[in-house]
Homo-oligomer: A and B are copies of this chain.
């Protein structure tokens, strides 16, 4: 029996096909499959392109997709997979869920994910999943790459007002491809600066650490991420449960130091988490 795990994200979609013995048959990657951010057509294409490249159709497929916690999104992904693989058993979960299973397994614990966005997901002893954060770039995702980037732009505009931190302001201008930081609001309004570009500033903020104002921004990000973890741990109800961190921001050595949490790296990537989950339900 072959099992396919899919990790569907906002920038790429990963496919892993394994045989009965858990040995890899194929591994490949296509474009974005978050149907809310990339659009339904592009998401469907990324998924179908990946499936068409497999050497054989799987017996079971488990896909983790952003937004699949909403019924209409889950239905979209389910239809997509079932139509392309009419004989397969299809499971659709959220991207955070399969990341959790990959990172920690079936047992209780908490996984903090912070890349472009941020969320903490936890699993209780009874199997019930809990979450904190993950509310998107406008109202949430505190401490994420996008949050760090937006805070960097805000800080640069305030520094411009006050005539402070000229090198910091220049770094943000360069990161956004702007001649002047004062063009940032218009660039955002016109769509020339989007969530991904703003999130890409985070790397430069890490590079400037421990200089100010990077130091303040990263410490505030760490405080937000710790709050996510604390909320999730409380909801799991097991204070000493295992903790794992993933994502370009949470897994960054500087952020690990600032977080000061005792965490292990994920045991497996999300696409393997999808396979582990599929097997556990057989």
Contacts and interface: CB of A to CB of B under 8 A. Distances in A.
Contacts of A231: 158, 161-162
A61 to B, nearest CB: 27
A99 interface: no
Interface in A134-157: 135-136, 138-140, 142, 150, 153-154, 157
Given A131-B161, A161-B131, A136 B189 contact: yes
Nearest to A164: B231
Contacts of A165: none
A135 B36 contact: no
Main secondary structure of the interface of A (DSSP, over half): helix
A239 B29 CA distance: 61
Nearest to A150: B139
A29 B136 CA distance: 38
Contact of A139 (B132, B139, B157, B227): B157
A140 B150 CA distance: 10
Contact of A185 (B136, B153, B157, B162): B136
A51 to B, nearest CB: 28
Interface string A213-251: 000000000000001000100110000000000000000
Given A161-B131, A161-B132, A161-B133, A185 B138 contact: yes
